[in-house]
Every structure is written in C-alpha cells, then in structure tokens.
Amino acid sequence: MTLNDTLLLSLRAVTSYRIRSLLIVLAMALGVAAVVMLTALGDGARRYVVNQFSSIGTNLIAVMPGRAETSGAFLGATMGRTPRDLTLKDAQLVGRLPQVKRYAPLNVGVAELSAANRLRDVTVLGSTADLIPIRHMNLARGSFLANDSEHSAQIVLGAKLAQEFFPTSSAIGQRIRLDENRFLVTGILALQGESMGFNTDEIVIIPIDYAQSLFNTTSLFRILIEARSHSEIQSAKIAIHDTLKQSHDGEEDVTIITQDAVLETFDRILHALTLAVAGIAAISLAVAGILIMNVMLVAISQRTPEIGLLKAIGANAADIRRLFFAEALWLSLAGTVIGFLLGQFGSLLLRLAYPQLPAWAPAWAIIAGIIVALITGILASLLPSSRAARLDPVKALGKK
Amino acid sequence: MIHLADITRIFQMGDQSVHALNKINLDIAAGEYVSIMGPSGSGKSTLLNIIGLLDRPNKGCYELDGKNVTDLTETEQAQIRRDKIGFVFQSFHLVPRLTAAENIEMPLILGEIPPDERKSRVTEALQAFDLLSRAQHRPAELSGGQRQRVAIARATILRPKAILADEPTGNLDHSIGAEVMMLLETLCQAGTTLIVVTHDRELSARAKRHIGMRDGKIVTDTP
Amino acid sequence: MNTIDTLQFASRALTAHRLRTFLTASGIAIGIAAVILLTSIGEGIQRFVVSEFTQFGTNIINVTPGKINTHGGSLGAIGSARLLTIEDAMALKHSRYVQYINASVMGNAEIRAQGRSRRVTVYGQSPDFPNVFNMSVSTGQFLPTDDLRNPRAYAVLGAKVRTELFGNTNPLGAILQVGESRFRVIGVMAAKGQVLGFDLDDTVYIPTTRALEVFNREGLMEINVAYRPEAPLQAVTDDLHRILVARHGREDFTLTPQQQMLSTLTTVLNVLKFAVAALGGISLLVGAVGMVTLMHIAVSERIAEIGLLTAMGATRTRIRILFLMESTVLATLGGLGGLIIGTSIAWLLKVFVSGLPVSTPWDYVLGALALSVLIGLAAGVLPAMRAANLDPVTALRTE
C-alpha cells in the first residue's frame, strides 16, 4: 500500500468512529494544552522576576558589612551591624577604582515626615546624587545635590508622597521636617510603582551625612556600585574586596554581591521550577497514551473481520501494522495541534489578565510537548498494531 | 388471551410515513400455536414486537390477559414483559461473557428472586433442556443448537404465558432446527401460547393456526 | 434486580475484558496517584515551614521601632531616630499579660578564643531569651538576671561555635573576644540546627546592653514579648500599645504578633498546596476522559445485550444503574489503586530522600477517593443514558 493510501485509509477509519476519536483527541489536547500553558506561566514568572531585578540597576554590585563563614544569607548582614563600620571613607576608596563607573554610599531607616499639617512615617534613603542613576530612578522634577551642593539639607520626595503632602502646589521649594530636622524639597521622583518589594513612590532621599546624623550612626548600610562594563564586574569585585581588606587592617569583614549572580540564581531556580511543572503536566500525556492503546486494542477486536478481509485480499502484516500506526498518528497529531492552539489561546488570556506577566510558552517547552505527545501516540500503537498484524486471516474471517 | 383491536403502527422513513401495521385486529387464545408468515416488509416482526410490548402502537388497543396494556408506563410494561412473555430470537442473543447457567439465570435476577431459589430453578431448567454438562460453558463454546436451547431455557424460566419466537431456527441446520421446534411445541402443549414468526413454509406448517400478512394487514387466517 | 446482583453483574462486565478494564483503571490510578503524591509533598513542605516557624512558640509579639514594615522586615530596626530602649523593654514587662520579654540586637562580628577566630552572627539578648524562644542550654547556664542596664560581660556559645573554637574542651570560664570587647563564657546552647536556611548554632549570645556597645548602637532592633497563652491577643496588643505610647508620646513603633504572620504563611502555603494538587488533577482529568471513552465503547458493543435486557423486562432505570455502576466501580478501583501507588511513592520518598519533607494529608486522600467515585459517576452518565434510551427493537436487530 502506498503511503498516500495508508494515510487516507487510516484517516477514514479514525473519522468513522466520531465520538471515540473526538474523545481521544480531547484527552491528548488537554495534556498538550496543559504543558503549553503551564510553561508559559512559569516562564512568564521567571521573566517577570528577572526583569524586575534587572530594572533596579545595571552592572550593579553591592557591598554590605559583615560576612558569614559559610556562604549564603546571614542575619547579621541584613541588619548591617558590625563592630568595625563600613565608612564613607571606604566608599570613597572604592569609588576611585578604575573599574567603577559610579558609586553611592547608602543608609536606610525610618523617620516621621511632617509638612503642611500632615504627619507620616516614611522610608528614608541617605545617599549621594549618584544613587538616582545607579538605581535607575528618575527625577520628574527638580534636582538633588546638583552642582556640588553636597552639604545642604536637600530632600527628594517620592511621587506619591509629594502628591499626598502637596496636592495643589508644587512640592519643590517647600520646607518639611524629618523628625525634628528641617529639609528643603529640591526634587520629586517620577512615578515608578513597586519593584522588588520596594515602592519608590513613598520614599525620601536625603544627603548621606544628614542621614547618618538622623539615625545617629557612622556606619553605612551598603555601598552601591555600578561597574564600568559588564565584563569588568568580576575584576571590580576582586578590586573592591582587596581595597576594603586593606582599609580594614587585613580583616575580611564585608560581603560583596553582584546583581548578575543573584539574577542567575533566580533564573536557574525558576527555570528548574518551570521544568518540573511541565514534567508533571506531561504525565497526563502518558495517560492519554494509555487511552489510545486501550481504544486501539478494543477497535482491533471489533474490526477483526475487517482485518481478516484485508489480509485475504492481499495485505501483508506490515501493511496492517502501518495502517493502525497511522491511525494512532492521526489521533496524536490532531490532539497535539488542537492542544497547542488551546494552550496558546490560554496563554493569551493569561497575558491579558496579568499584563505584567510575559506568559509566552518557551520554544523548548512547545517542541518537547509536541514530541512527547507524538511519541506517546506512537508507542501506544505498537502493541495493538502488532496484534492486528499477527491475526490469522481464516480465524479472523470466521469470527462473528 | 391476546386481543388486538385496530392496531396501527406508523414509521417515519425520511419524509415518508410507512404503515408497518394497518388496523390489525387479532385474537389469540391461551395455549394456541400460531405461525405468522409473510414477505419481508409485511409487518410480521413489528406485530410480534407489539404483542411482546417491545413497541407501542400509534393507534388501537391491546389487551393482554384481560388487561389493557396499550398505554402502560415503561416500568409496568417491563414487568409484564418479564413475567408474562418469553422471547426467542434468530441470533439467540446470549450474553457472550456469561456461562450458559448464568444466561438462564438472568430473568430470575431481574425478577428479584432470592439467590437460593434461583440456583434450584436454573438447575431444573438445565436438566429439562439437557444442558447440565454445558452449564459452565460460554456461548462461544456451545453449538448452535445448544445456544438456542439456552435461549429457550432463559425465555421460559419465569414460566411466561406466551413465547414469541422470531425465526427461531434461522441460524440452525435442519435437524437441529427440528429438535428446537419440538422443544417449543412441548412447552406449548403444556399450556403456553406459542407464536412463531417465519418465512419458512415448512416451519410454518407445523403450527395449528396460520396467519398470513402482507403490507401491514392480515390477509389470511386459517387453521 | 437487587443491589448485590447489580453489583455482581457490573463486576462481571468489567472482568470480561481484563486488559481493557486494567488500562482504563490505570488512567484514573495515575491521575489519583499524581494528586496524592504532589499534595503529600505540598503538605510536607507546609508542615515543615510552619513547624520551623513555630518552634520558638506562637504567643509572641515583636515590637520594632518606626511604623514601617516592608514585607516582614523592619526598616526601623536598621535605622531610626526613634529608639526602642532597654527601659522600654523593662516597662513592657510590667504588663499583666506578659510572661517574658527579650530585648534584641544583632550583628556580624569576629569572635576569638583559644587562638582561633570566626565570623559569626552575634546576638544581644536578655536573660529571658530561652523562655521566650523555647531554647535550652546544654552546658552551663544562660545569661543571668542582672540589671538589664548594666549586665556583666558574660557570653553563651551556640553549639557550632563551641565545637569550632573549643573542640571537645570545656569552654566554660574561657575568655571570648567579640570585636574589641571581652566576655566570659558561661554556657553553651543545645543544638538547634538550621531554620529556614539560617544556621542557629553558629552564633554567640551576649547581654543586649553590651551588644549595643559592641555595635555602637543606641537603640534596640526588636523587643520580643511572650504573653500568657490564654490571654486574648487584642487585649495584649492594646496593653503593650498603651505602655509604649505613654513612654514615647506617640505611636512610633510597630507591634507584630507572631500569630498574624503564621496565619498569612499558612494561607499562602494552603494555596500552594491546592495549586499543586490541581497540577496532578490534569492527569486525572485526562484519565476521566479515558473513562468516558471506554464506557461509550462498552455501550456501543453491547447494544444487542441492552435490547435483550429490555426484552427480559429490565426497566430503563435498571439499565442506567447497571452502566453507572460499572463506571463507578471501575473508577473506584482505579482510585484505590492510585491511592496505594501515590501513598507508597510518597512514603518511599520520605524514607530514601532525606531533606524532602513529605507528609500525606488524609483529608486530601479521602477527597481523592471521593473524587474518583464522582468521576466514575460523571463519566458513566452520558453512556448510561444512551444505553437506557436505546430502542429495544433496533437494538435487537444488531448482530
């Protein structure tokens, strides 16, 4: 039998059992659609997190006081206290390194903002002017520490704070108080929303020395550094380490983290998670395969006279095998295509419902899903089609 | 026992209405041996189905054992089918996965007869129809004659008032067919009404009353 | 036809085609097994995280400076002009609901002893610390109940620090240098292991006021309040609030009950568990479609038999019940099989893969079983109705 005839005959057989073929196609489609949609979800989550993390800076390196014996998180560093301070001088030393494009010392804390008869606790960032470009923040209006005015009591308000405290007038030029200290508003941040759990619309930025005096500390919370280029990040990290070790009398009491490394960790974890989810969804494809095998076995016992007849008129075992194999292939193909379309449609709905989540099924998942589905269908047909091929034509025709 | 008055059965074939039965009037007494003959399409099988309460007439009235059974509910009809009527088919219609004994037992199960009583009655039937040695065999392992005997045993185990046989020997060879007919006739002699639908003249001749049908009407009714 | 006979009839139909029945049941079994296995892992993780979280006790309220909390962390603890002081902690102890208080500061420092040095997290805690956090001492004692404002320079070692710096020798009485200050070791904590990634044994505990000196700080990071378990949470919170506002003049602090965090955590983990179960449910859905397909085929195959049953006097309802029972029995068998497979794999994982928390939630297991029964019913409905509505005349004409 020619390939063409095999395909046509098998297609006719499949379409003649309408309901059962439809149900098989449905089963397979569900499995493929699940794989497509779930990987879209997983990959969307991965890209969301990576995007969020990339948006907070470029070629970013963070130096924090304290170090753990074993790598990994340690509570001391997150709280940022050590006997020996990370100082402004340390920051300046680091800032002069050739691999460093920009640097910003950082102190954080909480203080009460009072202005225009309003009171509210706000998050305070103390730093230099470079903090704003390093952290990819934008000044919507005004400036911060421009023209070497490093020692005046300037403050930048987050967009929402400016709106909250000065809804009708411009915030710029207004005088406000942080706890008991007076500051002059010189800039307003552009509306940015929440990123990485940090909402920049409700923070204020003041010069680092004022922050240190406000919180009564001489120690820095972090030093943020922007390396000159991506390729220089590693050498920057080493240079920073050596500089600070020397500055701290040979003690290695700081931890240096690169944005790259963190990003990579997130990327890897979420990728693995997506893979696991896809794998679990793919189990359903195995179940669909069992269904195909089951139905084919039933079909063969029902169509025994037909098979006997085919053999009687000259079909050989290989022809019969190919015929049933083709039927399984048609069913798998239809299920795969419909499942793919369903999955893509579902991903589209996801993207519309959650625009921040770029839910696109990655190519590897789609290809893998299709291949697994097709292989399942093919494997499922092996037993039935060899059974059909081995039928004795005399017995087959004699059966009622 | 069976009283049909003006029974009409109409089938819709596409956009045409076909009168399978056209104003049939028929009375059959208890214990009668009747054969219904006619060419294909004459309505003989349809008549049998109506008598057996497998089908409802569009018009007319059917009284069975003095009771009007034309417009009974499905449940009531099922009960009558079970208790009063036994069917014997050309293709036996045995359940392939059940043994001979289990096939015979089926009406008893449907009739909610308690299990112990069932066992004794099935053994009785197996004995009466000479099937004891084949009791645990499945239909595939039985000869045609044995299969039909199982079917008759099943049809009669609840002691119906009437046996309706549609071409009972159609799938059997001549001598076996004769044996089967003798079986049915013995039952008839014991008081069961026997109605045989056939187009086999020789078969039909065995009956005591011959009804001929053509185009949905009874054209001859002779002893 | 009574129930037992109906059941028997249905079972015979299933055993007549054993391979087919087995394959169909497998579809359901795999789905149920997947659901059970995944929820077991989910439940295991939930229990693990919650127990890690609650091992220190649940009737705790944390007081932090400032009124801003970002995602569980307190920025005020890092930097604040408003201070929480030792005196604040002492005042809180006077509340009638409070059993113990702990004033807390932490940081990273290099400690030195016996010629060895190590960088560890150093905690400044109060003498009540072991009572607040259900921790116990393995050797010696914890910090004594000195005046909180002027405590003696004693230190208690974490289990790992003890082994790293002192090996097997008795550390009690030895001098420990923390940063620039010197302390005398008076105790070693019992090993606690890791909690959510943090090594609790690689630590040193010194009095809070001394820690403030070491880290050059004026304010506490946190005050932990352990209240009487039978006290209503709201009353406790109100009382603490009252005491502190009286001292500070305004509400420049945050009170966070541990219970609150726990319930948020539990909710999140419950959602996760459910999502994971749904993941397994995909396979179950496909298995259910398989069941519908097979029932549909069964009806097609047995049309003549259905006609026969009608001829013998079976009602439509009886026929419907027969087929429903077949599919239900089949699905239930598959469900039981899946249950056994799922729980077995979960148990094997628990035994052979250390570190993976697995716990089979019996409510989900029963739910899965009930689900498979329901699937059997649902899958059988349409085919059963089709069987019942067959015209016996046409059915009997089928060979």
pLDDT band at A97 (very low <50, low <70, confident <90, very high): very high
Q: What's the pLDDT at C76?
A: 72
Last residue of a domain, one of C190, C216, C251: C251
Q: What's the pLDDT at A191?
A: 86
For C267, the token pair is 């909710």
C101 and C229 belong to one structural domain: yes
Task: Please write the tens of the pLDDT for every residue from A26-67.
Answer: 999 999 999 999 999 999 999 998 888 888 888 999 998 887
Q: How many CA atoms lie within 13 A of C298 on its CB side?
A: 29
- Look at residue C67 and tell me if it is in a domain: no
Cβ contacts of B83 on chain C, cutoff 8 Å: 313
Positive/negative CA dihedral, C383, C387, C388, C389: positive
Interface contact flag, A81 C120, Cβ < 8 Å: no
Are C364 and C36 in contact by the 8 Å Cβ rule? The answer is yes
Mean per-residue pLDDT over chain A, rounded: 87
Are A72 and A96 in contact by the 8 Å Cβ rule? The answer is no
CB atoms < 10 A from the CB of C378, how many? 16
DSSP H helical ranges for B16-87: 44-51, 74-84
Interface contact flag, C294 A85, Cβ < 8 Å: no
Nearest CA in chain C to A292: C290
pLDDT band at A291 (very low <50, low <70, confident <90, very high): very high
Cβ contacts of B102 on chain C, cutoff 8 Å: 12
CA distance C231 to chain A (A): 31
pLDDT band at A69 (very low <50, low <70, confident <90, very high): low
Residue A148's SS3 state is coil
- Look at residue C217 and tell me if it is in a domain: yes
Residue B192 C-alpha from the chain's centroid: 11
C22 and C109 belong to one structural domain: no
> Is B160 exposed, middle or buried (CB count within 10 Å of its CB: 0-12, 13-18, 19+)?
buried
Q: What's the pLDDT at A397?
A: 74
**Pairing of the two strands A222-227 and A254-258:** unpaired
**CA–CA distances in Å: residue B132 to residues A101, B153, B158, B185, C395:** 102, 12, 19, 21, 30
DSSP label of B58: S
C186 and C144 belong to one structural domain: yes
Which residues are within 8 A (CB) of C335 and not within 5 positions of it... i.e. 6 or more apart? C28, C29, C32, C368, C369, C371, C372, C373, C375
CB pairs under 8 A between A and C: 205
Query: Residue A79: is its pLDDT beyond 60?
Result: no
Q: Check CB contact of C202 with chain A, cutoff 8 Å.
A: yes
Stretch among A313-317, C251-255, C266-270, C310-314 having the lowest mean pLDDT: A313-317
CA distance C304 to chain B (A): 7
Residue with tokens 């308690």: B114
Q: Check CB contact of A154 with chain C, cutoff 8 Å.
A: no
Task: Please write the tens of the pLDDT for every residue from B79-93.
Answer: 888 889 998 888 888
Cβ contacts of C315 on chain B, cutoff 8 Å: 74-75, 78
DSSP H helical ranges for chain C: 3-16, 18-54, 75-78, 86-92, 129-132, 159-166, 208-214, 233-248, 258-301, 303-311, 316-352, 362-388, 392-397
CA distance B57 to chain C (A): 13
Cβ contacts of B107 on chain C, cutoff 8 Å: 312-313
Q: What's the pLDDT at A273?
A: 92
Residue C51's SS3 state is helix
Interface contact flag, A400 C120, Cβ < 8 Å: no
In residues, how long is chain B?
223
Instruction: Select the residue of C5, C305, C315 nearest B74 (Cβ to Cβ).
Output: C315
Architecture of domain B33-45+74-222 in CATH? 3-Layer(aba) Sandwich (3.40)
Distance from C-alpha of B46 to C-alpha of B54, rounded to nearest angstrom: 9
DSSP H helical ranges for C302-391: 303-311, 316-352, 362-388
Query: Residue C103: is its pLDDT beyond 60?
Result: yes
Positive/negative CA dihedral, A286, A287, A288, A291: positive
C228 and C273 belong to one structural domain: no
Cα radius of gyration (chain A)? 33
Interface subset of A 124-153, CB within 8 angstroms of C: 124
Residue B164's SS3 state is strand
DSSP label of B140: G
**CA–CA distances in Å: residue B103 to residues A111, B178, B184, C258, C388:** 90, 23, 18, 70, 20
Q: What percent of chain B has pLDDT over 70?
A: 100
Interface subset of A 208-227, CB within 8 angstroms of C: 211, 214-219, 221
Which of B110, B118, B163 is the mutation pick for testing C, counting most C CBs within 10 A?
B110
pLDDT band at B122 (very low <50, low <70, confident <90, very high): very high
Residue with tokens 């959650």: A354
Interface contact flag, C312 B154, Cβ < 8 Å: yes
Q: What's the pLDDT at A197?
A: 61
Residue-range definition of the domain harbouring residue C19: 3-52+264-397
Which chains, if any, share at least 3 CB pairs under 8 A with chain B? Answer: C
Q: What's the pLDDT at A43?
A: 93
Distance from C-alpha of A305 to C-alpha of A396, rounded to nearest angstrom: 5
Which chains, if any, share at least 3 CB pairs under 8 A with chain A? Answer: C
Task: Please write the tens of the pLDDT for every residue from B2-14.
Answer: 999 999 999 888 8
C214 and C124 belong to one structural domain: yes
C153 and C23 belong to one structural domain: no
Positive/negative CA dihedral, C200, C204, C209, C213: negative
C90 and C238 belong to one structural domain: yes
Give the type of residue at C205: Y
Cα angle: A323, vertex A324, A325; to 5 degrees: 90
> Total domain count for chain C?
2
Query: Residue C208: is its pLDDT beyond 60?
Result: yes
- Averaged pLDDT, A335-351: 95
- List residues in chain B touching C: CB distance below 8 A: 49, 52, 54-55, 74-75, 78-83, 87, 89, 91, 93, 95-98, 102, 106-107, 109-112, 154
Q: What's the pLDDT at B89?
A: 86
Query: Residue A74: is its pLDDT beyond 60?
Result: no
- Look at residue C165 and tell me if it is in a domain: yes
Whether the complex's predicted ipTM surpasses the cut of 0.90: no
C26 and C99 belong to one structural domain: no
Which of C41, C70, C75, C108 is the mutation pick for testing A, counting most A CBs within 10 A?
C108
Residue B183's SS3 state is helix
Which chains, if any, share at least 3 CB pairs under 8 A with chain C? Answer: A, B
Q: What's phi and psi for A282, nearest 5 deg? A: -70, -20
- CA-closest candidate to residue C318, choices B162, B82, B52, B102: B82
- Look at residue C7 and tell me if it is in a domain: yes
Cβ contacts of A113 on chain C, cutoff 8 Å: none
Q: What's the pLDDT at A75?
A: 47
- Look at residue C63 and tell me if it is in a domain: no
C273 and C350 belong to one structural domain: yes
Q: What is the pTM of this model?
A: 0.81
C316 and C367 belong to one structural domain: yes
Which of C20, C303, C312, C322 is the mutation pick for testing B, counting most B CBs within 10 A?
C312
Residue with tokens 């956090």: C133
C281 and C386 belong to one structural domain: yes
Interface contact flag, A69 C119, Cβ < 8 Å: yes
pLDDT band at C159 (very low <50, low <70, confident <90, very high): very high
